[in-house]
Chain A
């Protein structure tokens, strides 16, 4: 087999494995719909997604406006420059996360959070 073919196969394999992982993880739903919000690696608070509500999260780096309705959580406004956190529309599966990198904000479901492990709880 030529080097070319070997390389194509390797990269194709890596590609397919990654896509497979994303698909498989994407099917898993969380056990309980409680979202954990963390800022700068530390837990800011937990929210039960069954009650509609909205609130602001004000941190040193900026503000993010959170909206919870119909069991979904979204960021509706943010002071960050890229606004990517607003375009990400809610937590679709257990491992999904809404991230606002400039404001160091992460929203994820309770039991998939790496925060508890890192904080040593």
Chain B
């Protein structure tokens, strides 16, 4: 692997972990479990747009494994892993269909599927499929937070392009 890619992966992983850990310290605003801003997805999208899908996947895996080591239990690892995988695959497919002009749409799709992944885990762990109805609440929230993180990523990308840091 090129040294440049390795360095960028490392830096992005560090950012991703910091964002993830800080975000998990914020007390929930809404009395609904599992609702969060999902800012770590900014890093995933940023990575996908700059260093490519394979390298972005590495960044995501580092965040999931180390992030769960830092903040959670085996259970939270399961939620994080499946949420992250569903999100990544959805974003990857979406990014093949839609260009990077519509980063906000890729982000929303990722957010929606992150929630679907987590509900899937919850269905298995809690032993009842009724929790799937919860998606009717989670999806609208995902659309809003996904749009927000997508816009954040777009601005970040524009700012970084101006600096020639990644050329």
Contacts and interface: CB of A to CB of B under 8 A. Distances in A.
Interface in A53-101: 82, 84, 87-88, 95, 97, 99, 101
B98 A7 contact: yes
A28 interface: no
A118 B102 contact: no
Interface string A1-26: 00110010001001100110110010
B136 A25 contact: yes
Contact of B33 (A14, A84, A118): A84
B130 A112 contact: yes
B52 interface: no
Interface residues of A, number: 32
Contacts of A33: none
Interface string B112-153: 100000000010011111110101110110010000000000
Interface residues of B, number: 26
A82 B28 contact: yes
A38 B128 CA distance: 10
Given A3-B99, A18-B139, A19-B140, 14 more contacts: A4-B102, A7-B98, A11-B105, A14-B112, A18-B137, A25-B133, A38-B128, A40-B126, A40-B127, A82-B33, A84-B33, A114-B130, A118-B127, A118-B128
Interface of B: 28, 31-33, 98-99, 101-102, 105, 108, 112, 122, 125-131, 133, 135-137, 139-140, 143
11 contacts: A3-B102, A4-B101, A7-B98, A18-B139, A18-B140, A25-B133, A41-B126, A41-B127, A104-B125, A114-B131, A115-B128
Interface of A: 3-4, 7, 11, 14-15, 18-19, 21-22, 25, 38, 40-42, 82, 84, 87-88, 95, 97, 99, 101, 104, 106, 108, 112-115, 117-118
